[in-house]
Amino acid sequence: MRAYRNAAEAVRSLPRALSDAVAGGEDLSKLAGIGKDLAEKIAEIVQTGSLGLLDEIGKTTPATLADLLSLPGLGPKRVALLHAELGIETREDLARAARDGRIRSLAGFGPKTEARLRSFLERGAPEEGRTLWSEAEPVAQRLVEHLARLGGVEKVEIAGSLRRRKETVGDLDVLVTCKRGVKVADHFVAFEDVETIVARGSTRSTVVLRSGLQVDLRVVPPVSYGAALFYFTGSKAHNVAVRKIAVRRRLKINEYGVFRGKSRVAGRTEAEVYRRVGLPYIEPELRENRGEIEAARRKSLPDLIELGDIRGDLHTHTLATDGTDDIVDMARAAKRLGYAYVAISDHTVAARIAGGLDARAMRRHLIRIEKANGSLRGIRILKSAEVDILRDGSLDLPASVLADLDLVVAAVHSSFAMSRERQTERILRAMDDPHVHVLAHPTGRLLGEREAYAVDVERLIEGAVTRGCFLELNAQPSRMDLPDVWCKAAKDAGAKIAISTDAHAAHQLDFMRLGVGYARRGWLERGDVLNTRTATQLERLLRKRR
Ligand code: DGT
Ligand code: CA
Ligand code: CA
Question: Are 506 and 541 contained in the same domain?
Answer: yes
Nearest bound ligand to the CA of residue 169: 1
Buried b (16+ CB within 10 A) or exposed e, 371-397: ebbeebeebbbbbbbbbbbbeebebbb
Is the CB of residue 239 below 6 angstroms from any atom belonging to ligand 1? Answer: yes
Residue 538 in contact with residue 341, Cβ under 8 Å? yes
Q: Which residue's CA is the nearest one to ligand 1's atom 16?
A: 232
200 domain-assigned: yes
Is 365 part of any domain? yes
Q: What is the pLDDT of residue 124?
A: 46
Asked whether residue 315 carries a pLDDT value surpassing 80, the answer given is yes
Q: How confident is the model at residue 126 (pLDDT cuts 50, 70, 90)?
A: very low
Residue where one domain finishes, among candidates 77, 92, 123: 123
pLDDT (average), residues 170-197: 96
> Does 161 contact ligand 1 (Cβ within 6 A)?
yes
CA of 28 to the centre of ligand 2 (A): 42
Residue 434 has a pLDDT of: 97
Q: What is the mean pLDDT of residues 82-100?
A: 85
Q: 403-454: per-residue pLDDT in tens?
A: 999 999 999 999 999 999 999 999 999 999 999 999 999 999 999 888 999 9
Angstrom distance (rounded) from CA 522 to CA 391:
30
Identify the sign of the CA torsion 197, 223, 238, 519: positive
My answer on whether 90 and 170 are in the same domain is no
H helix or E strand, kind and range, residue 486: helix 484-493
CA-closest residue to ligand 1 atom 23: 236
- The atom number, within ligand 1, closest to the CA of 171 reads 2
pLDDT of residue 14: 66
Determine which residue's CA is closest to atom 8 belonging to ligand 1. Answer: 160
User: What confidence tier does 16 reach under pLDDT thresholds 50, 70, 90?
Assistant: low
Beta bridge partner(s), residue 155: 177
Could you tell me which residues are beta bridge partners of residue 132? 168
Q: What is the SS3 assignment for 351?
A: coil
**How much distance in Å is there from the Cα of 386 to the middle of ligand 1?**
39
Mean pLDDT along residues 2-14:
66
Query: How many C-beta neighbours within 10 Å does residue 151 have?
Result: 8
Ligand 1 nearest atom to the CA of residue 240, by list position: 29
Report how far ligand 3's centroid is from the alpha carbon of 519 (Å).
Answer: 24
- 292 and 312 part of one domain: no
Q: Are residues 56 and 103 in the same domain?
A: yes
The pLDDT value recorded for residue 55 is 78
Report the C-alpha gap between 460 and 429 in whole angstroms.
Answer: 10
Range of the domain at 270: 225-297
Q: Domain for residue 302, yes or no?
A: no
Interval 176-202 mean pLDDT: 96
What is the structure's pLDDT at 15?
Answer: 62
Q: What pLDDT is stored for residue 38 in this prediction?
A: 79
Instruction: Measure 233 CA to ligand 1 centroid, in angstroms.
Output: 7
DSSP 8-state class, residue 475: -
Concatenated DSSP letters for 366-399? Answer: HHHHHHHHHH-SS-EEEEEEEEEBPTTS-BSS-H
Say yes or no: CB of residue 240 within 6 Å of ligand 1: yes
The pLDDT, as a whole number, for residue 9 is 62
Q: Average pLDDT of 446-464?
A: 95
Say if residue 10's pLDDT is above 70. no
In the chain, % of residues over pLDDT 90:
74
Average pLDDT over residues 122-142: 81
Alpha carbons 347 and 387: distance in angstroms, whole number = 6
Q: What is the mean pLDDT of residues 452-470?
A: 97
DSSP states along 106-169: STT--HHHHHHHHHHHHT-SPPTT-EEHHHHHHHHHHHHHHHHTSTTEEEEEE-HHHHTT-SEE
Instruction: Give the end of a domain, one of 219, 253, 276.
Output: 219
Shortest-distance ligand to the CA of residue 160 = 1
Write the residue with the smallest CA distance to atom 20 of ligand 1: 232
For residue 170, the CA-to-ligand 1 centroid distance in Å is: 10
- DSSP single-letter state for residue 403: T
Q: If you measure from the C-alpha of residue 291 to the centroid of ligand 3, how many angstroms do you get, rounded to a whole number? A: 24
Q: Is the CB of 244 under 6 A from ligand 1?
A: no
User: What residues have their beta carbon closer than 5 A to ion ligand 2?
Assistant: 160-161, 171, 173
How confident is the model over 269-278, as a mean pLDDT?
Answer: 97
The answer to whether residues 248 and 384 belong to one domain is no
The answer for residues whose C-beta is within 8 angstroms of residue 17's C-beta and 6 or more apart is none
Q: What is the pLDDT of residue 110?
A: 81
The Cβ-side half-sphere exposure at 372, using a 13 Å CA radius, reads 23
CB 167 near ligand 1, within 6 Å: no
Instruction: Please tell me the distance between residue 281's alpha carbon and the centre of ligand 2 in angstroms.
Output: 21
**pTM score, two decimals?**
0.78
Query: How is the beta sheet containing 257-260 ordered, strand by strand?
Result: 252-254, 257-260, 263-266
Indicate the residue type of 207. Answer: V
Per-residue buried b or exposed e for 464-489, using 16+ beta carbons within 10 Å of the residue's own CB: bbebebbbbbbbbbbbbbbbbebbbb
Whether 312 is in the pocket of ligand 1, judged by its Cβ within 6 Å, is no
Pairing of strands 407-411, 380-388: parallel
Most confident of 6-20, 343-357, 390-404: 390-404
CA distance 481 to 168: 13
What percentage of residues in the chain have a pLDDT greater than 70? 95
**Residue 227 above 60 pLDDT?**
yes
Distance CA 93, CA 77 (A): 17
Q: Of the ranges 68-72, 83-87, 253-257, which is most confident? A: 253-257
pLDDT higher than 70, residue 12: no
8 A C-beta contact, residue 203 and residue 228: no
Of 169, 193, 219, which residue constitutes the final position of a domain?
219
Ligand 1 closest atom vs CA 235: 18
* pLDDT for residue 199: 96
**Lowest-pLDDT range, 73-87, 450-464, 524-538?**
73-87
| Arithmetic mean of pLDDT, 325-352 | 96
d(CA 174, ligand 2 centre) in Å: 9
Nearest to 213 by CA among 154, 168, 267, 170: 170
**Cβ of residue 388 lying under 6 Å from some atom of ligand 1:** no
Can you tell me the distance from the alpha carbon of 121 to that of 273, in angstroms, rounded to the nearest whole number?
49
- Please tell me the distance from the alpha carbon of residue 450 to that of residue 178, in angstroms, as a whole number: 43
Is there a single domain that holds both residue 354 and residue 467? yes
How many CA atoms lie less than 13 Å away from 432 in the CB half-sphere?
Answer: 11
Instruction: Return d(Cα 116, Cα 99) in angstroms, integer.
Output: 11
The number of distinct structural domains making up the chain is: 4
- Output the domain CATH number for residue 42: 1.10.150.20
Which CATH number belongs to the domain containing residue 370 in this structure?
A: 3.20.20.140
Q: What is the CATH number of the domain that holds 167?
A: 3.30.460.10
Q: What's the average model confidence in pLDDT over 153-158?
A: 98
Q: Is the CB–ligand 1 distance for residue 169 below 6 Å? A: yes
The CB density around residue 416, as the number of other CB atoms within 10 Å, is 15
Are 324 and 382 found together in one domain? yes
CA proximity to 309, closest of 157, 519, 67, 68 = 519
Mutate to test the pocket of ligand 1, among 239, 244, 245, 288 (most ligand atoms within 8 A of CB): 239
Mean pLDDT of 128-155: 95
Whether residue 239 has pLDDT greater than 80:
yes
CATH of the domain at 265: 3.30.210.10
Question: Could you please report the per-residue DSSP string of 247-260?
Answer: HHTT-EEETTEEEE
- 36-51 confidence digits (pLDDT tens): 887 888 888 878 878 8
Q: Say if residue 125's pLDDT is above 60.
A: no
171 lines ligand 1 (CB under 6 A): yes
Compute, in angstroms, the gap from residue 461 CA to the centroid of ligand 2. Answer: 31
DSSP state at residue 468: T
In a domain, 97, yes or no: yes
